[in-house]
Amino acid sequence: MAYKEFNNVTILDHPLLKHKITRLRAKKTRTNEFRSLVKEISILEGYEALRHLETFLIEVETPIEKTMQPKVNRKALCFVPILRAGLGMEDGMLELVPGCTCGHIGLYRDEVTKQPVEYYCKLPADISEKEVYLLDPMLATGGSAIDAVKMLKKHGAKKINFICIIAAPEGVEAFCKENPDIPLFIGALDRCLNEDAYICPGLGDCGDRTFGTTNGTTSDK
């Protein structure tokens, strides 16, 4: 489903995706299930986002005969999660395209300024030759995603896509105004940001819930 205000935005509309995001939101969902859901949701989103993958023909011998059939050119791809929450999505994307090259960008949100702070960046040397899929579960203010794209471009990336699970309208607007040429895939578009720049209704801190670093009900103890 296209987002009427920006033609580079696709809001994915599938009953299974909606169902899993509902379970992801629930406060009572524990760490192990939460982590599994992030992976499953990433697979569903990735299936749609990777629809236009480059393929080439290879010879395959079936029990009946030899035939030329398409194969994904995984060397042309690169998945780049934004640490640390994006790591949960990386697992799902690699389930779809095993052996794909991955890079990593480390950003965290300053609790006072609400702005992203860079602390790590490791990308393939040939990233300029690859189609990049930037991964981050939450698009809140848009600051981290915008900075991550700048880092990718600085290192030579030319073809970039962004996949998130939940987005706020404020983040979508900020990202698209800065990057109108980058396809953005969203699992669910929420209502707004609160005064602490958390998405409402959202799901809380995705990184904490993925890795069990809170004292809340996501713990498996």
Q: Both tokens of residue 49?
A: 């986002």
Distance CA 24, CA 149 (A): 26
Distances (CA, A) of 179 to 146, 171, 182: 8, 12, 6
The C-alpha atoms of residue 160 and residue 156 are separated, in whole angstroms, by: 11
d(CA 76, CA 99): 12
Cα 123 to Cα 196: distance, rounded to the nearest angstrom: 31
The DSSP symbol for 204 reads S
**Residue whose entry in the numeric block shows the structure tokens 């960046």:** 121
The DSSP letter of residue 62 is: -
- For residue 35, cis peptide bond before it (omega within 30 degrees of 0): no
Residues catalogued as catalytic: 109, 113, 205, 208
Closest by CA position to 19, among listed 36, 42, 41: 41
CA–CA distances in Å: residue 156 to residues 83, 121, 132, 171: 20, 13, 11, 24
The residue type of 62 is T
